[in-house]
């Protein structure tokens, strides 16, 4: 356990009637293209193309086989704010970035800088603005 996790658990244990939220598996893909072809979307051939969907089908919130789009993260955070109100503690359990986001671009320092930037964006652009008074406790995942 990290020091941050222990502090977070102490905060949860010492405050009665706290409002908590647990965010799992965000898998933010900042490169998701909602106008991409169904035949060549973010994860290769798409099974939905077999259902007769046209290449022009716009998918702003995501596609089968793709990681989470920025639009879907924003929609989720807005809905959490509406339904959850003022949340005291938010635990974010790893897997902040899309699968293989750095590995697919090669092992280079610039790619890992981009990976760190995406992780930072999860907190600074999507969680913090919606919940400025919340204690946010991140943990590390495999993505």
Nearest to 92 by CA among 126, 117, 63: 126
Q: pTM here?
A: 0.70
Has residue 62 got a pLDDT over 70? yes
User: Left, alpha or beta for 38 (phi > 0: left; psi -120 to 50: alpha)?
Assistant: alpha
Count of CB atoms situated within 10 Å of the CB of 57: 14
pLDDT digits (tens, 9 = 90+) for 6-45: 555 555 555 567 888 998 888 888 888 887 766 665 755 5
* Contacts with 67 (C-beta within 8 Å, 6 or more apart), sequence order: 27, 28, 29, 32, 42, 98, 99
Has residue 66 got a pLDDT over 90? no
Binned at pLDDT 50, 70 and 90, residue 89 comes out as: very high
């Amino acid at each position: 356990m990290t020091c941050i996790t222990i502090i977070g658990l102490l905060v949860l244990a010492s405050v009665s009637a706290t409002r908590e939220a647990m965010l799992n598996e965000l898998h933010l893909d900042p490169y998701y293209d909602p106008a991409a072809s169904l035949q060549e979307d973010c994860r290769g051939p798409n099974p939905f193309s077999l259902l007769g969907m046209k290449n022009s089908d716009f998918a702003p919130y995501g596609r089968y086989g793709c990681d989470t789009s920025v639009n879907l993260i924003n929609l989720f955070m807005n809905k959490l704010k509406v339904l959850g109100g003022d949340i005291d503690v938010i635990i974010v359990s790893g897997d902040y970035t899309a699968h293989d986001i750095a590995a697919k671009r090669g092992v280079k320092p610039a790619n890992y800088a981009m990976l760190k930037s995406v992780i930072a964006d999860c907190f600074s652009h999507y969680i913090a603005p919606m919940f400025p008074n919340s204690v946010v406790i991140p943990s590390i995942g495999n993505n």
